[in-house]
Amino acid sequence: MLIIVPPSESKRAAADSGRPVAIDELSFPELLPTRRRIARALIETSRDLDAFERLGVRPTLAPEVVRNIRLFELPAMPVLDLYTGPLHDGLDASGWSPAATARANASLVVVSALWGALRPTDWIPPYRLQVCSGLVGMDRLEPIWRAVLPDTLADAAGTDGVIVDLRSPGYQATGKPTGLADRTVTLRVHQGLRGHRIGPVLAKRVRGEAVGFLLESGADPPDAHALAYVLSDRWAVRLEDPERAGKAWTMTLSID
């Protein structure tokens, strides 16, 4: 089983002290050249007068942009401790049992615009970077990551088991596991039997809760149907076949 999780724009502040990121020791070392290239460009971009425009942020976020300049000096923290958005709040990684934590360490990957694929055991500093940013000396980040991430994610997925992709279309554009769409499931969240759409914040939180529930269940579903069976213990589930070859399954969770 592989669970692919997006990052969050909101992050915890760095601690007052601690060791900085050891970029050479992060998971998936084949991504190191791309990580170094993007990190250098982010630092250079954050020093420039057009940093806010390039990074797509408001001037009120100036402290976070300036913080990027010290990327390799800031104290690092575990990946799942860093992100604080609604999906990660729903994950509630700090509340997992030891068994669920061990399963997450083996099966969960966070895809970041800066670092690419990360395991929960990796330590990184806070940063400000969106996947659609235009850094100095390079185009958008999606095609840069798409050149390397698909094979990395396919290797992480292994030869069997379901792939649960919680990323938005923007982050999916950084790369999907090569040739494994038939094993991949994306999650949507609706409200009630009529399938009313809900706000994005609640939807993200429920998707995070679904991952936490799956990890705590101890299940290792081999396919989309088995995944639906596991999640149906908590939510009403509707599974839709791929629209065509090369497309993922779509699973909708209904909340009251």
* Strand extents, DSSP E, the chain: 2-5, 77-78, 108-112, 116-118, 123-124, 163-165, 184-191, 196-197, 236-240, 249-255
**Is the pLDDT reported for residue 191 higher than 80?**
no
Strand partners, 208: none
Q: What is the pLDDT of residue 63?
A: 93
Strand partners, 3: 108, 164
Residue 146 near residue 210, CB atoms below 8 Å? no
Domain ranges of the chain: 2-255
pTM (2 d.p.) = 0.94
In terms of DSSP bridges, do strands 184-191 and 196-197 run parallel, antiparallel, or are they unpaired? antiparallel
As a whole number of angstroms, the distance between CA 132 and CA 56 comes to: 8
pLDDT in tens, 97-120: 999 999 999 999 999 999 999 999
pLDDT in tens, 50-60: 999 999 999 99
